[in-house]
């Protein structure tokens, strides 16, 4: 029997770079909460960290609330890092 995967421990292929401004900090916090991981760097890829389409929908919903604006879900698929987004 295999142990349960530890999704929150998935490592990024990028070296950690901390958010550089308030907007990046807010986006990284949302990703961290949705993905269940401790910290998200600005160059970490959402999908490489374990994100998928259902979690992307949650992120987009929170971004819309946070920034009081329309954010198409395709934006996250085309810009999968905090820095790009």
Q: What is the pLDDT of residues 32-72, one digit of tens each?
A: 999 999 999 999 999 999 999 999 999 999 999 998 889 89
Q: Tens digit of pLDDT for each residue in 22-32?
A: 999 999 999 99
Domains, the chain, in order of start with CATH, read 17-78 (1.10.1200.10)
Which of 80, 84, 30, 82 is closest to 52 using CA atoms?
80
Residue 6 has pLDDT above 60, yes or no: no
pLDDT recorded at residue 67: 87
Neighbours of 27 (CB within 10 A): 23
Query: What is d(CA 12, CA 42) in angstroms, rounded to the nearest whole number?
Result: 11
Q: Give the number of other Cβ atoms within 10 Å of residue 29's Cβ.
A: 16
| pLDDT confidence tier of residue 9, bands split at 50, 70 and 90 | very low
The stretches of 1-85 forming alpha helices (DSSP H) are 22-35, 53-67, 74-78
Exposed (0-12), middle (13-18) or buried (19+): which is 41, by Cβ within 10 Å?
Answer: buried
């Amino acid at each position: 029997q295999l142990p349960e995967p530890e999704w929150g421990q998935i490592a990024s292929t990028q070296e950690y770079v901390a958010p550089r401004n308030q907007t990046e900090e807010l986006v990284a916090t949302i990703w961290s909460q949705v993905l269940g991981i401790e910290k998200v760097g600005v160059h970490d890829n959402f999908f490489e960290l374990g994100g998928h389409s259902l979690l992307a929908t949650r992120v987009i919903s929170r971004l819309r609330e946070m920034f009081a604006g329309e954010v198409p879900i395709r934006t996250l698929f085309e810009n999968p890092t905090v820095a790009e987004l």
